[in-house]
């Protein structure tokens, strides 16, 4: 058994390997006894315990908890280790992972929506207030579970990876089930989700909508109240406190609402787990009634999904996540399962709840960018006018910095650009600005000899459509794989025109595109999947350019195709 997880207190990676023993339980009657034995070995032998508890272990803590019958995984399994080794930040591989991106849901949309209506009927009857209803995504081709972990989980605050000879568990969890440090017990349940926008303005709107959502706030407070009640079973009298309610946190694909509940306790970890498990955020309210409905409606056992992964350390220290955004991989066959779901309340709209599930599964289709990717701006400087459209470049850079949580110091950047300008002696220069996550900037320049009259650029259509869910299409960065892939195998042309799955034009690999149709100059809207170019924005603002989707079939009737970027400005193109 090997386990890698992120320690929330230090933000460092811990690795557990070569266990001195592995203790597991496959029957409900053995769950509490096994946990007590694990805790005893930690305390008496100064060992660390790391492992997982499956959702179906719930009846081992409380016989009133109803789940489907467990299959495959043990109800709980922990390795006992002499120490936890600190790991450096895991590095992403540039090699193909061999893992499938083709995940299929086990529940059809019409079935999901019908079950949401059944939950709403039970709410109307007063049998429940909220139910966390979930389904499974499945694939048959995960050859490299560790690479899957790096692809989806490396940036998650409660990420965890566990492997044995038979199976692997990959968790990209952002949710803290509980942390124990001496007598201090803290939980941070999550409830309330909004899909991240792909560009900065849409992202800000979605954040604002979640913050102002009465429905999501009510759900969040309901679950926080359940955690307070559960904590009260093991807390010292009068110590349970809701430290904060409805905080909005940013993750790679979603905005997530959280609350923080704390208490003081002298109870052992096994009793804390018995009081809290499973976490209220992934069952519903009231817990027992909601779990009964979950067992009837969901197509399969949850397994590790919505269970917990974590460690127990000497000196009354423990950390456990809520195993959401978590996959179980059969290492022999490559079959894998990944759970998605959400809380259903009376005013839930089935179609929107289904869309939220799809958004939560989007993480499976996108590989994370290397931690050292940078934001990029390329500008034209002229002796006569200085930096062309500088305010637009800085605004775009600021928006992307906000989106990706990069430090951004506008005044410092302007100062550095001014220093560079004093060293430039040609009429025209291309200035390239790179900015890393800390806000550190690098400036380079190249003297230009801009042609007064450009021959039309020869352009061809890309062989494959772009993925409009790829966030790097909407921000100028060093992550240019989509553009590099589009150029592969396309010969005898100067540039390539990109297009999306629906057959609409997007941009070229180095420029925005404008097409003259019926005497008006049009450019595709950002939602089609393209970079918000600085020159494009300026021309839209002046009224010279207009937005509308452009079908590829319309290019044959175009009176003119023009490429736009802020270094070459406007230059003609010809489809070949």
Is residue 191 part of the annotated active site? The answer reads yes
Type and span of the H or E element at 414: helix 410-421
Which residues have CB under 8 Å from 148's CB, separation 6+?
Answer: 97, 99, 142, 170, 327, 329, 336
Residue 41 CA to residue 20 CA, distance in Å, equals: 11
What is the SS3 assignment for 97? coil
The Cα–Cα gap between 399 and 389 comes to 16
Q: Provide the Cα torsion 443, 448, 452, 457; round to 10°.
A: -80
Cα angle at 514 between 511 and 517, to 5 degrees? 160
Collapsed DSSP state (helix, strand, coil) of residue 80: strand
Nearest Cα to 500, choosing from 451, 452, 465, 541?
A: 465
Backbone angles phi and psi of 569, in degrees to 5: 65, -130
Instruction: Give me the sheet containing 520-523, strands edge to edge.
Output: 505-508, 495-499, 457-461, 569-575, 560-565, 512-517, 520-523, 546-547
Which parts of 421-517 are beta strand (E)?
A: 428-435, 441-448, 457-461, 495-499, 505-508, 512-517
Give the active site residue among 56, 163, 175, 219.
175
Distance CA 35, CA 386 (A): 69
- CA 279 vs. chain centroid, Å, equals 21
Residue pair 76/277 in contact (Cβ under 8 Å)? The answer is no
Angle subtended at Cα 132 by Cα 128 and Cα 133, rounded to the nearest 5 degrees: 105
Tokens of 443: 């400036």
437 belongs to the catalytic site: no
Q: Are 3 and 15 in contact (CB under 8 A)?
A: yes
Catalytic residue among 39, 56, 191, 337: 191
**Structural contact between residues 276 and 228, judged by C-beta atoms closer than 8 angstroms:** no
Using alpha carbons, list the distances in angstroms from residue 101 to 363, 440, 455, 471, 479.
10, 35, 42, 17, 20
DSSP state of 395: H
Distance CA(85)–CA(311), nearest Å, equals 13
Three-state secondary structure along 145-163? HHHHHHHHCCCCCCCEEEE
Query: So which residues are the catalytic ones?
Result: 175, 191
């Amino acid at each position: 058994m090997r386990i890698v997880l992120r320690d929330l207190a230090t933000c460092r990676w811990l690795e557990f390997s070569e266990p001195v023993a592995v203790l597991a339980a496959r029957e409900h009657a053995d769950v509490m006894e096994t946990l007590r034995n694990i805790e005893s070995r930690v305390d008496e032998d100064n060992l660390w315990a790391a492992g997982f508890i499956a959702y179906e272990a719930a009846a081992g803590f409380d016989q009133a908890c109803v789940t489907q019958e467990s299959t495959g995984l043990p109800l709980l399994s922990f390795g006992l280790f002499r120490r936890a080794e600190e790991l450096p930040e895991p590095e992403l591989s540039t090699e193909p992972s061999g893992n499938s991106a083709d995940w299929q849901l086990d529940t059809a949309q019409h079935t999901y929506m019908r079950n949401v209506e059944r939950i709403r009927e039970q709410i109307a009857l007063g049998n429940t207030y909220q139910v966390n209803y979930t389904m499974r995504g499945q694939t048959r081709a995960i050859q490299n579970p560790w690479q899957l972990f790096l692809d989806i989980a490396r940036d998650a605050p409660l990420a965890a990876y566990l492997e044995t000879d038979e199976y692997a568990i990959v968790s990209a969890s952002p949710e803290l089930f509980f942390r124990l440090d001496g007598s201090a017990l803290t939980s941070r349940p999550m409830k309330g989700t909004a899909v991240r926008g792909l560009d900065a303005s849409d992202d800000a709107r979605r954040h604002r909508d979640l913050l102002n959502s009465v429905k999501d706030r009510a759900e969040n407070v309901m679950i926080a109240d359940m955690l307070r009640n559960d904590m009260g079973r093991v807390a010292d009298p009068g110590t349970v406190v809701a430290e904060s309610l409805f905080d909005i946190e940013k993750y790679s694909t979603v905005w997530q609402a959280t609350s923080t509940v704390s208490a003081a306790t002298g109870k052992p970890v096994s009793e804390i787990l018995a009081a809290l498990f499973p976490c209220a955020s992934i069952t519903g309210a009231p817990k027992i009634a909601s779990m009964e409905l979950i067992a009837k409606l969901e197509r399969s056992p949850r397994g590790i999904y919505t269970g917990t992964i974590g460690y127990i350390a000497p000196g009354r220290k423990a950390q456990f996540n809520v195993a959401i955004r978590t996959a179980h991989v059969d290492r022999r066959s490559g079959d894998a399962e990944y759970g998605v779901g959400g809380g259903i309340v009376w005013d839930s709209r089935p179609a929107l709840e289904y869309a939220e599930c799809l958004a939560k599964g989007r993480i499976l289709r996108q590989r994370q960018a290397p931690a050292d990717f940078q934001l990029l701006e390329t500008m034209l400087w002229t002796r006569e006018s200085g930096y062309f459209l500088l305010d637009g470049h800085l605004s775009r850079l600021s928006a992307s910095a906000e989106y990706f949580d990069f430090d951004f110091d506008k005044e410092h950047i302007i100062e550095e650009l001014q220093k560079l300008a004093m060293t430039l002696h040609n009429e025209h220069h291309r200035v390239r600005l790179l900015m890393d996550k800390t806000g550190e900037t690098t400036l380079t320049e190249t003297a230009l000899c801009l042609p007064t009259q450009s021959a039309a650029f020869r352009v061809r259509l890309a062989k494959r459509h772009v993925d409009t869910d790829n966030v790097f299409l909407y921000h100028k960065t060093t992550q240019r794989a989509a553009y590099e892939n589009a150029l592969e195998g396309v010969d005898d042309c100067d540039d390539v025109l990109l297009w999306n799955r629906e057959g609409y034009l997007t941009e070229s690999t180095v420029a925005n595109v404008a097409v003259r149709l019926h005497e008006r100059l049009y450019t595709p809207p950002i939602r089609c999947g393209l970079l918000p170019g600085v020159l494009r924005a300026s021309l839209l603002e002046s009224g010279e350019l207009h937005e509308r989707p452009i079908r590829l079939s319309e290019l044959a009737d175009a009176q003119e195709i023009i490429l736009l970027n802020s270094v070459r400005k406007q230059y003609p193109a010809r489809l070949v």
